[in-house]
């Protein structure tokens, strides 16, 4: 019987080993394998989405490259009213003379970088001036009545200060004028 009991013990040991292996597979390995399969499926979906987004981006960049801003259709008589050369020093000298007649004190004229355009080139100029509110308004009205078009923007005014019996304000603004742009061959 000892040989039979040894065989039974060996059989129970074998069943116990299979049970332990089955427990490890079902309890530990199988959930991680399922999680790994779900994650690999999610990675596949994300890769497909990435590919579709890249193709969309490529199509968008192609269409934006194709879309160029059409040149402005400005009538020839208006274009002819703008100077062809850069005449900023002459323009600023005229502004200064007229402003001084109105009682304006100019603190700053700073021409900024030109923005080249097809029909017209923008020529922005920072200006800072000091005078009464009425004098400043009169100067801006003078600029608006000139034949040459001048846009005044970004106007900043300080609080009035009493100077020599009158209230004076400092005004900082951006004056943008134009000249004919460079023609491309």
Spans of all domains in the chain:
1-68, 76-180
Question: 76-180 — its CATH code?
Answer: 3.30.70.60
Within the chain, strands assigned E span: 105-111, 120-131, 150-157, 161-163, 166-180
The predicted-structure confidence for 126-172, as pLDDT tens digits, reads as follows 999 999 889 888 988 888 888 778 888 898 988 888 888 888 999 99
Angle between helices 133-145 and 88-101 (to 10 degrees): 140
- Cβ–Cβ contacts within 10 Å for residue 67, how many? 8
Q: What is the pLDDT of residue 73?
A: 62
To the nearest 10°, the Cα dihedral for 176, 99, 107, 121?
Answer: 20
pLDDT bracket for residue 184 (50, 70, 90): very low
Within 112-149, strands assigned E span: 120-131
Distance CA 138, CA 6 (A): 119
Distance CA 105, CA 96 (A): 8
- Are 144 and 111 contacting, i.e. CB atoms less than 8 angstroms apart? no
- Cβ–Cβ contacts within 10 Å for residue 53, how many? 10
pTM of the complete model beyond 0.75? no
pLDDT tops 90 at residue 6: no
């Amino acid at each position: 019987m000892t040989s039979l009991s040894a065989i039974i013990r060996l059989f129970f040991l074998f069943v116990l080993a299979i049970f332990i292996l089955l427990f490890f597979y079902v309890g530990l390995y199988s959930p991680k394998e399922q999680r790994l399969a779900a994650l690999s499926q999610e990675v596949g979906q994300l890769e497909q989405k990435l590919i579709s987004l890249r193709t969309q981006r490529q199509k968008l960049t192609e269409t934006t490259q194709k879309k160029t801003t059409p040149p402005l259709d400005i009538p020839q008589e208006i274009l002819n009213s703008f100077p062809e050369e850069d005449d900023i020093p002459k323009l600023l000298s005229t502004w200064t003379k007229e402003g001084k007649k109105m009682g304006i004190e100019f603190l700053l004229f700073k021409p900024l970088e030109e923005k080249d355009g097809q029909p017209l080139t923008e020529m922005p100029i920072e200006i800072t001036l000091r005078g009464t509110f009425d004098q400043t308004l009169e100067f801006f009205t003078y600029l608006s009545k000139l034949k040459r078009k001048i846009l005044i923007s970004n106007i900043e005014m300080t609080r009035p200060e009493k100077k020599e019996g009158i209230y004076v304000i400092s005004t900082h603004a951006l004056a943008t004028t134009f000249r004919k742009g460079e023609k491309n061959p």
